[in-house]
Amino acid sequence: MLAAEALRLAAIEVLCPTAALVAGSGFPTLAAEHVFDSRAAALQDLDQTATYTPTLALYTPAARSTRRGAHSDVLDTDAAATLEIIAELSTQCTEGDDTYADALGMADTDAKARLVLAALCAQVRHTLEWSAGGAMFRRLAVRIIGVSEEAHAVPQIGLRWSRVFMTYSCEVPDDDFSAGGMPEPLAGLAAALPATSYAKEKLTELAEAFAPSSPVPLEEIRIAAGVGRLPDDIDDGDATASVDTSED
């Protein structure tokens, strides 16, 4: 569902505003510019001078659209999407000859790292759910059904990482193709985004796949009014109504 993609792209713009990227300051979370679309932080993304780099990675793993009732219209639907945000304190790790980015291993006594990660998650919630800058996201998330946070840990063997899986379950507008071209809500989001934003760039590329098309004009209606029978041929209808398509 494209509405789920719109939800994620709106969240990326809210959590990493284009204006803040241009200014180099004014980011709403500790992750600053380290907000990634459908991927984890790579080694080159990290601040090599710091012990760890707060990062956010956004995914939309699930979406659905269901009819509101057995006799509802095809457009009368409820749509929902899941937005997953992985908040972590990323660091450089070395294993043998391999060097890679991963979440900081967290000792049970590392209270400072725990507080930093908790603060990052709280900033994400505040920015998306309550801040003035989050209005773009909330226009896509018609209703936030629930938010869950799960720490990444295997406590049975004493393994814990500075990583939290934040899951947003949201009601969203269903994809609407009635206007032709790029469907809503993608089209509306594209119009609202800053011209130089990452999300705008991606939607501009996607727009080429949705060239406007004109529906085939209605010319004639044929009706078979007999009881208990169907016409043998389309031209056997009992009544015919022609549609005048002239401009006069």
DSSP state of 232: S
Domain boundaries, the chain: 2-207
pLDDT per residue as tens digits for the range 186-223: 999 999 999 999 999 999 999 888 876 666 777 777 66
Who has greater pLDDT, 107 or 159?
A: 159
Amino acid at 71: H
Cα 79 from Cα 65, distance rounded (Å)? 4
Length of the chain: 248
Q: Percent of the chain beyond pLDDT 70?
A: 81
Determine the Cα–Cα distance for residues 120 and 105; give it in Å rounded to an integer: 17
Phi, psi (degrees; rounded to nearest 5) at 164:
-130, 130
**Residue the block writes with tokens 């005048």:** 244
In the predicted structure, residue 159 carries a pLDDT above the cut 80: no
Question: What CATH number is given for 2-207 in this structure?
Answer: 3.30.70.1700
What is the distance, to the nearest Å, from the Cα of residue 164 to the centroid of all Cα atoms in its chain?
A: 19
**pLDDT tier for residue 239 given thresholds of 50, 70 and 90:** low
For residues 172 and 65, what is the distance between their CA atoms, to the nearest angstrom? 9
166: pLDDT strictly greater than 60: yes
Reported as a pLDDT band with limits 50, 70 and 90, residue 111 is: confident
Q: Are 222 and 234 in contact (CB under 8 A)?
A: yes
pTM to 2 decimals?
Answer: 0.82
Q: Is 189 helix (H, G, I), strand (E, B) or coil?
A: helix
Check whether 17 has a pLDDT greater than 60.
Answer: yes
CA of 20: how far to CAs of 15, 77, 88, 94, 133, in Å?
Answer: 10, 37, 21, 33, 12
**Alpha-carbon gap, residue 118 to 166, rounded angstroms:** 11
**CA 52 to CA 30: how far, in whole Å?**
12
Of the pLDDT bands very low, low, confident and very high (cuts 50, 70, 90), residue 157 is low
Mean of per-residue pLDDT scores for the chain:
87
The first and second tokens of residue 22, run together, are 């241009």
pLDDT confidence of residue 231: 62
pLDDT tens-digit profile of 64-98? 999 876 656 666 789 999 999 999 999 988 888 88
